[in-house]
Amino acid sequence: MRDIKPLLIDYGHGGLIDGVYQTPGGKQYTCTDVEPNLVLYEGVSNRMTAAALMRLARAEGMAVFDVVADVWVTDPLTWQELEQRDISLQARVQSANKHRDGILISCHSNAVGNAIKGPSQAANGIDIYTYYGESGADPIASAIWQSFKDNQDALRVRSGDWSDGDPDCEAGFYILRKTIMPAVLGEIGFFTNLHDAQYLAELQNHEEIAACYWYGVRDFVGVQRA
């Protein structure tokens, strides 16, 4: 019998409450290259992916924990039903660390610079991150990176770091540095790039993103493929 591990899901930044973005002044971009201008809120995009990933994992009977809301997920959720407040990193880490036997996926997308409005920036594509050094997160990150390569072609999967023999990038992000279980952070697309932002703006595309995460992580959380 395979060891079953809970899947811990984190989604960064705030969502929308009464139509107001909860991370004002950051983690958003208005692309002025199109009319009407395209507005992308990263926190909303992250929730679209997280909700889709929760539904996939629950459909296969997995225990799923929402790190942001600090609750077990029991019913299929839409992104609007997730916690919309911009919960602090410290609180999310504390929530995750209650479940040291789990595997953490943190859903994000990337950006160039700190501007919140302007023309499309050139940088684009997908990066998968772990914390520095070798850990139990490395094979999971490699499998997720490969899953994005194999299962979608809308966004470029960036070449990766390879400095330690695997394709994940390494960074000291707080959610990776302070958690005590294997933790992987995905930067899926650049919301400062028009092509990537157009993809992230469509709700149905987050089903594809979630599937790429799931196909990469499911063997590690204990799902036995048929």
- How many C-alpha atoms does 131 have within 13 Å on its Cβ side? 17
Is the per-residue pLDDT at 2 higher than 70? no
In a domain, 20, yes or no: yes
Model confidence band, residue 222 (pLDDT cutoffs 50, 70, 90): confident
In a domain, 92, yes or no: yes
Q: Name the region of 25 (left: φ>0; alpha: ψ -120 to 50; beta: rest).
A: left
Domain enclosing residue 78, as ranges: 7-221
In this predicted structure, what is the pLDDT of residue 1? 39
CATH number (domain holding residue 40): 3.40.630.40
What would the mean pLDDT of 187-206 be, rounded to a whole number? 98
Crossing angle, helix 42-59 and helix 205-221, to 10 degrees? 50
In a domain, 1, yes or no: no
In a domain, 48, yes or no: yes
pTM, full prediction:
0.95
Number of structural domains found in the chain = 1
In a domain, 2, yes or no: no
Q: What is the largest CA-CA distance in the chain?
A: 55
Q: Kindly report, residue by residue over 11-62, the tens digit of the pLDDT.
A: 989 999 999 999 988 899 999 999 999 999 999 999 999 999 999 999 999 9
Tokens coding 195:
């092509």
Q: Kindly report, residue by residue over 106-152, the tens digit of the pLDDT.
A: 999 999 999 999 999 999 999 999 999 999 999 999 999 999 999 99
Q: 3-state DSSP call for residue 103? A: strand
Estimate the share of the chain in helix, then strand, then coil, as percent rounded to the nearest 5.
30, 20, 45
Computed over every residue of the chain, the mean pLDDT equals: 95
CB 15 within 8 A of CB 22: yes
In a domain, 144, yes or no: yes
In a domain, 134, yes or no: yes
What would the mean pLDDT of 212-218 be, rounded to a whole number? 97
Rounded Cα–Cα distance for residues 84 and 163 (Å): 37
In this predicted structure, what is the pLDDT of residue 225? 53
Rounded Cα–Cα distance for residues 95 and 162 (Å): 31
What would the mean pLDDT of 183-210 be, rounded to a whole number? 98
Task: Write the single-letter amino acid at 14.
Answer: G
In a domain, 226, yes or no: no
Q: What percent of the chain has pLDDT over 90?
A: 90
